[in-house]
Amino acid sequence: MEKFEVNILGCGSALPTMRHQMTSQVVNLREKLFMIDCAEGTQLQMRRQNLSFSRLGHVFISHLHGDHCLGLTGMISTFSLLGRVAPLHIYSPGDDLERLLRPHLDFFCHGISFDVIFHSFSPCQSEVIYDDRTVSVRTLPLRHRMPCCGFLFSEKPTLPHIRREMIDFLKIPYYAINAIKSGAGWTDVDGREWKHEELVFAADAPRRYAYCSDTMPVDGNIPLLEDVDVLFHEATFSNDAASRAKETGHSTAAQAAEMAKKCHAKRLIIGHFSSRYPDETVLKDEASLIFPHVVLAKEGLKIEV
């Protein structure tokens, strides 16, 4: 299977600890990198995890709290110092990010070597905001103290695989393989026609990854997340702090697990931990009582989707 990997750069909430960096992730899909949120120190985490700066072309910002976007100016400055020429696309709810960040770029990154292109979207509805031949990215409206969206990465279906034994048996030339994958049949040297279905087998099912942070549970997203391969859902608090979670627009570990259960996710990653928990195992234990396939986020974690 082609690579579809999630790299956790930071999984802590707004108060950093010695254990965790603040929020950022990189999705690696077939060696094309997409960043979700960009907290302070994100570029250092990319270095530590040997993620290529040059392959990062798109950054998706969930909301404008500082622990999700204050790493942008420093990262953009570094890209310019390294001589980047490819444009960088940044997506965020509404127009406020460009209004706030442009003066910083004009002052601290004056004369940068590439274009920074801002794309705004509505935080109130789900829509596709990025689409290419391998992946689409859809927004997931969330409930927080300010406009906020999650993101659903959906891999595009690939062509079926041609059967190796049929290539050898029928002596199919290399130039004909893509045509057969695309639906053509083949006529052998004796004039017999072989149907497309006899020559190929189905490709792997397209995979999906969903990111939901910062937010209270949003049942309206369940149809969009049905059967998602990997769901990242914030679990800032445990159930004994449920009132604090509601007050601050966050979720408990149990609520994150309920979301995974309702949408029939295959795996759940929980993160965005409050610094009040010296050992996040208590959050995993709480979630595991409801949904069995739970992973605690941590810096350096790589998840194959």
The position carrying tokens 């045509």 is 179
Cα–Cα dist 166/181, whole Å = 13
Burial of 190 (0-12, 13-18, 19+ CB in 10 A): exposed
What Rg, from alpha-carbon coordinates, does the chain have? 22
Question: Quick check: bond before 240 cis, omega within 30?
Answer: no
Separation between Cα atoms, residue 129 and residue 183, nearest integer Å: 30
* Distance (Å, whole) CA 11 – CA 9: 7
Task: Tell me the residue length of the chain.
Answer: 305
Pairing of strands 302-304, 4-10: antiparallel
Is 67 a known active-site residue? yes
Catalytic residue among 67, 95, 106, 132: 67
List, in sequence order, every residue forming a beta bridge with 34; answer none if it has no partner. Answer: 27, 58
d(CA 103, CA 57): 22
**Which tokens go with 212?**
């939901």
Show which residues are catalytic: 67
